[in-house]
Amino acid sequence: MKLAAKFARQETEAARLARIARRRIPEDRADAVRRMLGGIAAGARGAFRCPECDRAFALPMHRGRHVKSRHATPSVA
Q: What are phi and psi of 49, to 5 degrees?
A: -110, 145
pLDDT at 24: 72
Please, which contacts does 3-6 make with residues 24 or more away whose CB atoms are closer than 8 Å?
none
Report, as an integer, the average pLDDT of 16-29: 76
> How far is Cα 34 from Cα 32, in angstroms, rounded to an integer?
5
pLDDT digits (tens, 9 = 90+) for 26-71: 778 877 777 777 655 444 566 788 888 988 887 888 888 899 988 8
Give CA separation, 39 vs 25, 29, 30, 31, 47, in Å. 19, 16, 14, 12, 8
Can you give the residue ranges of every domain in the chain? Answer: 11-42, 45-77
